[in-house]
């Protein structure tokens, strides 16, 4: 596969992010050198094909630091010092604090350009790594005044080689943005999931797509998130306070639904949600609204493959697909997301072929 980076690339921190970057670059033929404070972690990443163990005398052109946020600045500073010819980037989920710490440490930030891939998983460590993790995902480059343009282009090359989309920003802008799209959603998901902890089993048996969507990221690693939230607390608090006010007025309205204006307060909250969700970019970064078709499939081998093949034969492009199983039921419901124009032809084609379209 072709690549822009000449390499070698040194990766420090071979957990989920470091291993994923190593796998992606190695698959494209870039030489990758791996280093982790944990000998087990670096050997594991090497065993999975993310690169080879770093050796004395290595001369990387680019270093990617993928360690927890609270040690990021210290590790970046040590790398800048140990490799005076290399450009160093990091992938920490917060950007202003590491840059400020580097400046305090007196590091040579003319060779440092922080970045942040907006891609991840709920699990950490090399075992969860994937070379395709970044494909099609935004990857922020948090620019600052002291980096030279020429040096910074290596970080662009890294992002493009991994199939991601570079987005230029500043550390401050980045941190405000991720408070809204990542840090507060994490907390909302955790708070909702915490409600499930002592819910009766009978209630959990009824769980469907809605509660699963809202709680997916609640499985994330608390040790990582306490660091992320700690380093971006002011921006997160600003969002949470606004949400706290919305929640208080919603609770008051529901608690006195017959009072004048209460139903309107509830309706306004729901409508504001409609407006917000419609603003999220869809596949390919468009704002197209998608439609969904639900098809019932029997719990037998080959059913899903047959359904997908039939959709392909109907010449319909799938935007997304997911399966829901009702506990104890002998069938599942496949939810297919398509562009609105494809809805009618798909519906007709599936019914003609004997599929039970349920919605
Ligand atoms: N987990 C996610 O979904 C995402 C995480 N990030 C950022 O990526 C960075 C890494 O996160 P993960 O890969 O998820 O964590 P991880 O826990 O899977 O891996 C971190 C690795 O860093 C190593 N490490 C810790 N201190 C070190 C040191 N002083 N020197 C060398 N190695 C050291 C650990 O042994 C571990 O192998 C974090 O800064 C996080 O904010 C960014 C985007 C997504
Ligand atoms: O799983 C998701 O939807 C995520 O958003 C994962 C994620 C977690 C932490 C980051 O800094 C960036 C992305």
Determine the Cα angle at 115 with ends 113 and 116, to 5°: 170
DSSP-derived letter for residue 196 is: H
**Helices (runs of H) and strands (runs of E) counted in the chain:** 14, 12
- Which tens digits make up the pLDDT trace of 171-204? 999 999 999 999 999 999 999 999 999 999 999 9
What is residue 260's predicted lDDT score, i.e. its pLDDT? 97
Band of pLDDT at residue 3, cut at 50, 70 and 90: confident
Which residue's alpha carbon is at the smallest distance from atom 7 of ligand 1?
A: 92
**CB 217 less than 6 A from any atom of ligand 2:** yes
- Which tens digits make up the pLDDT trace of 239-255? 999 999 999 999 999 99
CA distances 208 to 122, 137, 215, 337, Å, are 20, 27, 11, 17
What is residue 342's predicted lDDT score, i.e. its pLDDT? 87
Whole-number Å distance between alpha carbons of 308 and 314: 10
Q: Which residue bears the tokens 């991994």? A: 162
CATH class entry, domain 176-278: mainly alpha
Domain 9-169 adopts which CATH fold? Rossmann fold (3.40.50)
DSSP-derived letter for residue 112 is: B
Q: Ligand 1 mean position to 62 CA, how many Å?
A: 18
Whole-number Å distance between alpha carbons of 141 and 174: 9
CA-nearest of 335, 243, 324 to 295 is 335
What is residue 280's predicted lDDT score, i.e. its pLDDT? 92
Q: Which atom of ligand 1 is nearest to the CA of 221?
A: 1
Q: Where are the domains of the chain?
A: 9-169, 176-278, 285-357
Cis peptide before 108, with omega less than 30 degrees from 0?
no
- Which tens digits make up the pLDDT trace of 135-176? 999 999 999 999 976 778 999 999 999 999 999 999 999 999
- Which tens digits make up the pLDDT trace of 332-349? 888 888 888 888 888 889
What average pLDDT is seen over the chain?
A: 93
What does DSSP say about strands 165-169 and 138-142: parallel, antiparallel, or unpaired?
Answer: parallel
Band of pLDDT at residue 289, cut at 50, 70 and 90: low
Q: Is the pLDDT of residue 284 over 50?
A: no
The predicted model gives 276-284 an average pLDDT of 81
The ligand whose atoms approach the alpha carbon of 177 most closely is: 2
Assess if CATH 3.30.70.260 describes domain 285-357: yes
**CB 63 less than 6 A from any atom of ligand 1:** no
The predicted model gives 208-212 an average pLDDT of 93
Whole-number Å distance between alpha carbons of 334 and 321: 7
Q: Which atom of ligand 2 is nearest to the CA of 217?
A: 1
Sign of the CA dihedral running 349, 352, 354, 356: positive
Percentage of residues in the chain having pLDDT higher than 70: 96
Q: Is the pLDDT of residue 287 over 60?
A: no
The predicted model gives 222-232 an average pLDDT of 96
155-177 core/surface letters (b: 16 or more CB in 10 A; e: else): bbbbbebbbbbebebbbeebbbb
Whole-number Å distance between alpha carbons of 74 and 157: 25
Q: Ligand 1 mean position to 224 CA, how many Å?
A: 8
Question: Ligand 1 pocket: which of 12, 37, 68 to mutate (most atoms <8 Å of CB)?
Answer: 68
Whole-number Å distance between alpha carbons of 164 and 145: 24
ipTM of the prediction greater than 0.90, yes or no: yes
């Amino acid at each position: 596969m072709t690549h822009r980076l000449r390499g070698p690339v040194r990766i420090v921190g071979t957990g989920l992010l470091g291993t994923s970057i190593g796998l992606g670059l190695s698959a494209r033929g870039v030489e990758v050198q791996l280093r982790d404070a944990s000998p087990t972690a670096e050997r594991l990443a090497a065993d999975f094909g993310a690169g080879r163990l770093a050796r004395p005398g290595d001369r990387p052109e680019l270093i990617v630091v993928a360690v927890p946020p609270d040690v990021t600045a210290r590790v970046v500073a040590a790398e800048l010092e140990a490799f005076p010819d290399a450009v160093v980037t990091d992938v920490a989920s917060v950007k202003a604090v590491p840059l400020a710490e580097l400046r305090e440490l007196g590091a040579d930030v003319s060779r440092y350009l922080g970045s942040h891939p907006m891609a991840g998983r709920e699990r950490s460590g090399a075992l969860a790594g994937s070379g395709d993790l970044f494909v099609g995902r935004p990857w922020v480059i948090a620019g600052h005044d002291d980096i030279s343009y020429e040096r910074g282009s290596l970080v662009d090359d890294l992002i493009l080689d991994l199939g991601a989309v570079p987005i230029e920003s500043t550390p401050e802008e980045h941190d405000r943005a991720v408070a809204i799209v990542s840090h507060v959603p994490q907390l909302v998901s955790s708070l909702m999931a915490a409600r499930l902890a002592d819910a009766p089993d009978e209630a959990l048996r009824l769980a469907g797509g809605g509660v699963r969507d809202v709680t997916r990221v609640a499985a994330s690693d608390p040790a990582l998130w306490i660091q992320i939230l700690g380093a971006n607390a002011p921006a997160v608090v600003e969002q949470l306070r606004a949400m706290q006010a919305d929640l208080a007025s919603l609770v008051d309205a529901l608690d006195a639904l017959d009072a004048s204006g209460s139903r309107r307060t509830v309706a306004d909250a729901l409508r504001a949600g409609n407006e917000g969700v419609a603003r999220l970019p869809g596949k390919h970064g468009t704002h197209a609204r998608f439609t969904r078709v639900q098809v019932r499939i029997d719990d037998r081998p080959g059913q899903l493959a047959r359904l997908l093949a039939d959709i392909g034969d109907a010449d319909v492009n799938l935007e997304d697909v997911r399966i829901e199983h009702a506990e104890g039921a002998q069938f599942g419901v496949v939810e297919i997301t398509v562009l609105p124009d494809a809805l009618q032809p798909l519906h007709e084609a599936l019914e003609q072929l004997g599929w039970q379209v349920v919605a």
